[in-house]
Each structure stands twice: as C-alpha cells, then as structure tokens.
Structure 1
Amino acid sequence: MSGVPREDIFITAKDLSIEGVTTEQALRKSLKNLGVEYVDLYLIHNAMFAKNDADLQRKWAEMEAVKELGLARSIGVSNLERQKIEAILKTAKTPPAINQIELHPYFQRTELVSWLQQQNIALACYSPLAPLRSGRPGPVDEIFQTLAKKYKVDESEIGLRWAIDQGRVVITTSSKEERVQGYGKKLPSFKLTAEEISDIAELGKKKEFSGFWRYFAPSGGDK
C-alpha cells in the first residue's frame, strides 16, 4: 500500500457467488490477494445466483458470518431490487449497510431510493457520469455545460456533485491519475444549489438510459 496506513484506506470487495465456493473462502482469497486482514465493506455483487428467496437468505447468513469473524467491517449488497432486499431482511440479524446500484440523471430510481432511505440502507451509485459518456447526446448536456462554466469545473464534476449533494456515495473510475487527483481538489470547492439539483433531475426524466442494470434486472426492476 505504498506506506499508507491501513486505517487510512477504505477497501471494498465483492462476492461473485461462484458455485461451490463459500463466502468465507471467497473473502479469504480476496484478503490474501490484497495483502490485508480485513475489508471495510464486503458486498454481494448481484442476485443472479439465487433461484429463490431461500438462496438469498442463506447467502446473507454467510455474509453475516464473515462480519462476525472480523473479516469484513460492514456488509452490503449490489444491484439488488427492493424485492430481493426484502427477502434478505426477513431473516437477517444484520441488515445490509448499503446497496450499490447504477444511478444517474437518466436512471434515477426514485422509488428504490426512497425505500432504501426508509430502511436506513445507504446508497452508493456507480456510472454517475453515464450521461456524459454513453448517454450522449441528451437533455442534460446543456445544463451540465452551463454549470461547469459557472463553477469553473469540468462537466464530470457537475455530474458527481449532483449525486454527492443528495447524500449519495459516488463510485467512478478514470485511467488518468491527474483526473482523479483533480476530483479531490475541485469537488470540495463547490456545491450545487437545490434548484440546480432539481433542474438536472427534471431534465434527466426526459430520457431513460441504463448501461448495466438491464443485465441484473431484465424485467426492469424498481424504477
């Protein structure tokens, strides 16, 4: 870790639910590969492995077990619809700390987001910059450009702040180190107003686009 203290790094890992591999076995392998004794957050990647609610509930019991062993500080889920999480909650001793889902102005998931808030389950959104990448051209292009000029930042920083200013954990990637460093410097320097957040949301409703969710919920899932 290049001399960085372990406590200064937040590590998230995912369980891919490979048949024949227990949750503990999978996590211990990840820990060995990472060279650490625990992860801060361990997630079920998706529910595609589960044939029924009982499969999900058994998997969650295994997740709770690795948390009790101290191999994961927190446990959560990813790409799960409300129905799947409700099945987990029926037998859970420890509820999921977070649900990591695709979310951006063109895929706002308002019903699921509202329900997660009611359940005190945190929300992490991936693909927050889809409107600027695979979602172009689209109805938010102009407002992103306008706000980027106003705040003297890149359009990508507008997209990230739109999520952050609504209390969401944001996950993004870049092949350029300087871009990631730029996010660290620019994002704390400004906030969008409530009106700007609302304007982006309203414009985003004019287009529906999902880059990944259709693979995890072919039926459409929660809106």
Structure 2
Amino acid sequence: MASATAIHIPEVALSSGDGRAMPLVGMGTAAYPFAPENTKSAILAAVELGYRHFDTASLYRSEKPLGDAVIEAVRLGLIRSREEVFVTSKVWCHDCHPELVLPAIKKSLRNLQMDHLDLYLIHWPVSVKPGTSLLPINREAIVPMDLKAVWEAMEECQRLGLAKAIGVSNFTRKKIEELLVNAKIPPAVNQVEMNPIWQQQKLREFCAEKGIVVTAYSPLGGQGNMAVMDCEVLKEIAKARGKTVAQVSLRWIYEQGVSMVVKSFKGERLKENLEIFDWELSNEEHLKISRIPQHKRISVLQILSPQGSLKSVDLSDIDNVEMCSSGRVLQALQV
C-alpha cells in the first residue's frame, strides 16, 4: 500500500463521465529530451508520495513508461490496482479526424497496457494531414477541422468505455461554444496554460458556467520560461510565508478552484509541489497576484514550422494567433 507519509490530494468531480473524481494535482510527463527510464522511476517516486493523477499524450512518448510504472507500482504494493490512479492522455493533431480518433485511443491504451483512460482530451483544436511530422507542424499540412465529427468520435470513445470522460485542451471560449452546439456529451475538462503570469480569468469564468473543470498546465511557467519563478510579487509572498515561489504559485491556482498538472522528475520537487494544502493565501496576497502583468507563453504558432503559409485554414479563433516571445517549438512539448 501507499506509504503512511503519502500526502492526500483533494479531488474534483467531473460533470460528465462515470462520476469518478479527478485529483486536483497531477504529475505531467512531457520531457525533452525523452528518457523512458527516468520517466518510469519518477512516476514510481510520485506514486509513493501520493500522486494519483498522471498526464500523458501520444505526442509525449511517455505512455509506455507510465503504463510500466503503474504495473510496477502494483507489484511493489504502492497501490492496489490500476484503478487507484487517474490517467489522462490526448489525441494529437494528425489523428484529429473522425475516422482516426478511435484507432488513436486504442494505440494509446496499448502503449499504456490499460483497457481504459480516465480522461481523453483533444490536444489542440487543429487537424493535420495524417502521416506528417509531429513537431514542428508543416503549415501546408494543416486542414480544416471537422470539430462536430471529431467530437462525435470522442463521444464514441466514452460510450465504448475506452475513456471514462472526455475533454479538450488549448480551447478558447469560441471553440468551446462551437463544440457545445452539437455535443451530446459536454467536455468535462479544458486543459490550458495557466499560472499567476497568465491567469485566464475570463476563460475560467466561462468554463465554470458550463460545468467544465479547468486544468492548468505550465503552472510554474514551463520549460525554459522563468517568468513565474522570477516574479518579484511571488518572491515577496514566498519569503514572507517561508514557502517557495513554486508553492505560492500552485497554492494560488488551487485556491482558484482549478486543477493542475505539474512536471518535475526530481523527488524533492515532487514532494514540495504537494505541500500546498495546509495553508492559505491572504486577501491582500490575492490582490497583489491579481495585479501581476499578464503574459501568454504558449501559442499555436509555437507548434508550427516557421516556413510556409496558412492559406488553407484560419487559426485566428484558436488563440488569436498570438506569437509568444520565445517561439521555440520544443516548449510546446510541455503542453
């Protein structure tokens, strides 16, 4: 069984699905360069600390080591069965076609050595011609996305029991509204970039109205971006509280009623990221954080090749096609 010192992570009920609750803090498994053995050992360490939600994607190449780690965790007695963990995966853009969603989830399940996912997400509201490179995406390979038909395929994944719940990632309010027009099963989750530097207040309010749980990725700013960790407001609060900047950021997200996935493969950081549940930020601290200048880091343009044109499709309703400061494709692996 799990260690007596394992931290209990609060959970949130999902509005659609089989009623299973999702742990509010999960472990992200995107990494570059990819190292499967490091991934497996880090996941095992996380299970022992109390992590029960693990976030992967077909893009990340971490499904196989995650599945191996869960099997090993059961063998070691850290958990009783696979049912004690909540596993999220995502369908990548080149499989965002009605006829390819079902084969894609089946492939992910084979990689994971599981018979179902707890949550399956559309990774981006973008469709790419099948057989093209994963990253960067060739601009000429982007094709109009049949969101209605793709979502129907996602709903079929849930009806077949291959995914207990379904949702989206990197969806704006406009794209969610487009999806909801025809959805028989509404998305349970919208996983988006969110942290004190990019607070997503309007999107969070909209999702709350629709019963959609927001999950924050890059809650500490993400690989190669120090905007959160170098924020003077957060440093000041952390110093006064005797906490780390990371803990202040994660606690702030938690107090917004938002779930999160945090990527770290270091044992001490994994532990630190869970030590956020026995204290609270003050109203004054919340006010200070609310006044932090906002900066969006992740844009759809980051996952595109800089060459070529976008004549075949209009991406303006995805994220206003805002070019981020770094423009580095590899940072997109964090999502």
- The alignment's TM-score, normalised by the length of structure 2, stands at 0.59
How much is the aligned-residue C-alpha RMSD, in angstroms?
2.5
For 1:25-54, what per-residue CA distance to the aligned partner results, in whole angstroms no more than 9, with x for missing partners? 11111111111111110000011218557x
SS of residue in 1 equivalent to 2:165: strand
Taking only the aligned residue pairs, the percentage that are identical comes to: 32
Q: Runs of 4 or more off by more than 4 Å in structure 1?
A: 50-53
1:117 to 182, 195, 208: 208
1:154 paired to 2:244: yes
Deviation at 1:190, TM superposition (A): 1.4
Deviation at 1:133, TM superposition (A): 6.3
Distance 2:188 2:268 in 1: 31
Question: 1:132–1:141: 8 Å Cα contact kept in structure 2?
Answer: no
- CA distance in structure 2 between the partners assigned to 1:197 and 1:137 by the alignment: 15
CA distance 1:64–1:132, shift in 2 (3 Å): closer
1:44, 1:77 within 8 Å by CA — same for their partners in 2?
A: yes
Q: Distance in 2 between matches of 1:35 and 1:62?
A: 22
Pairing of 1:1-223 with structure 2 (within 5 A): 1=70, 2-3=73-74, 4=79, 5-19=81-95, 22-49=100-127, 52=144, 55-130=146-221, 134-136=225-227, 141-184=231-274, 186-202=275-291, 204=292, 206=293, 208-215=294-301, 217-220=319-322
Q: Distance in 2 between matches of 1:136 and 1:46?
A: 24
- Give me the TM-score of the superposition, normalised by structure 1: 0.87
Q: Which amino acid aligns with 1:25?
A: P
Please say if residues 102 and 213 of structure 1, whose CA atoms lie closer than 8 Å, have aligned partners that are also in contact. Answer: no
What secondary structure sits across from 1:42 in the alignment?
strand
Letter of the 2:124 partner, please give it: N
- C-alpha separation in 2, matches of 1:39 and 1:132: 26
Residue type at the aligned position of 1:127: S
Offset of residue 189 of structure 1: 2.3
Deviation sequence 1:135-186 (CA, Å, 0-9, x none) = 4389x823322222333221100011111111001111113122102222x2
The answer (yes or no) to whether the contact 1:17–1:49 under 8 Å persists in 2 is yes
- Determine the C-alpha separation between the residues in 2 that align with 1:137 and 1:154: 12
- Go from structure 1 to structure 2 and tell me whether the alpha carbon gap of 1:131 and 1:15 turns closer, same or farther (over 3 Å shift): closer
| Structure 2 residue ranges without an equivalent (≥5) | 1-69, 129-142, 302-317, 323-335
- 1:129 is displaced (CA, Å) by 1.1
**How far apart in 1 are the matches of 2:144 and 2:178?**
9
Q: Which residue of 1 aligns with 2:42?
A: none
Q: Which has the higher helix share?
A: 1
**Secondary structure at 2:277 match in 1:** helix
Give, in angstroms, the shift of residue 199 of structure 1: 1.5
Aligned length: 215
> 2:218·2:262 contact (CA, 8 Å) conserved in 1?
yes
SS of the counterpart of 1:123? strand
